Amino acid sequence: NSKLQIHKDTPVFDGQYSNRCYSEAVKQAFINFRAKAIREGRYDPETDEILTNQWSRIIVHLPYAFQGKRMFPDVFRHDRRHLPIWEAIVSKIGPEPFPDDFPDTPDGIEAFEKANDSYRRLISKTDEFKQFVDERIEKTTRASSLIGNQYTGSIFLALMSTMESDYIENVEMAGEKVGLCGYGSGAKAKVFEGEVQPQWREIVSRFHLFERLSTRHPINKTVYEALHRGSRKRSVVKPSEEFALVGIGGEGQLEGQREYRWVE
């Protein structure tokens, strides 16, 4: 009898479908946040500035640097449909597609999704959206663009990236509101907001994020593959005053469990 292997070390996924799931989950999470903000008196859509304009920075889960601006057109569109700015955008790129414009069949649904994907790209190329990204999202992506693909902790890295960028550029952020969006496997998203506290500079001054990124040690293909396979047993760079990975649980143990220790 042969064994059936159902586990893969390398994930297999449909990138386009994954991006759709991300966009839809984040949009729905924003809709839910907005509704809760209205119920609790945090936001009055009749008199207040729209939420995405109230947030000085928008920090999102970034598996790669450009995901933020590729994902946010849906929220940007939803938050502006009732405003003159959206009429101006539609006059440039045309009307948006709606599900009712397509047959209620599997092929029709797929045709709508493709049309909606194309419309998101059109939104992302408008001057209005580019300005929005430059003002509220760009700083969150700076560290990610230097690191490359990631997943765990990317929203925290994006927060550190924007706060250190504002610190370096001497932007006063105390009292400013920031929007945050977490996302995880299973197409689950959560939108929430925070307020930058007066002592933010004291905290951020200790990050040294971009300084640490600038002192990274390059590795060659052979070392990279050894790290990927788990065959290399020594650290490429000797750890110093930091937590270091010292072991990974194998078969018969807590498989995959990572053990870290503080190294002086």
Query: Residue 192: what pLDDT?
Result: 97
> What's the token pair of residue 39?
């119920």
Query: Residue 71: what pLDDT?
Result: 87
The β-bridge relationship of strands 55-60 and 242-248 is unpaired
Query: Residue 12: what pLDDT?
Result: 67
Residues of the chain with CATH 3.40.47.10: 15-212
- What is the CATH number assigned to the segment(s) 15-212? 3.40.47.10
Query: Residue 110: what pLDDT?
Result: 94
pLDDT 10s digits, 115-169: 999 999 999 999 999 999 999 999 999 999 999 888 778 999 999 999 999 999 9
Q: What is the DSSP string of 19-37?
A: HHHHHHHHHHHHHHHHHHH
> What's the token pair of residue 50?
């729209």
Query: Residue 68: what pLDDT?
Result: 84
Specify whether the CB–CB gap between 76 and 120 falls below 8 A: no
Specify whether the CB–CB gap between 207 and 163 falls below 8 A: yes
Specify whether the CB–CB gap between 198 and 174 falls below 8 A: yes
What is the chain's pLDDT, residue by residue, as a tens digit (264 residues)? 666 666 666 666 777 888 888 899 999 999 999 999 999 999 999 999 999 999 999 999 888 888 888 889 999 999 999 999 999 999 999 999 999 999 999 999 999 999 999 999 999 999 999 999 999 999 999 999 999 888 778 999 999 999 999 999 999 999 999 999 998 877 889 999 999 999 999 999 999 999 999 999 899 999 999 988 888 888 899 998 899 988 888 888 888 899 999 999
Specify whether the CB–CB gap between 76 and 85 falls below 8 A: no
- Indicate the average pLDDT of the chain: 92
Query: Residue 165: what pLDDT?
Result: 98
Please tell me the distance from the alpha carbon of residue 230 to that of residue 223, in angstroms, as a whole number. Answer: 10
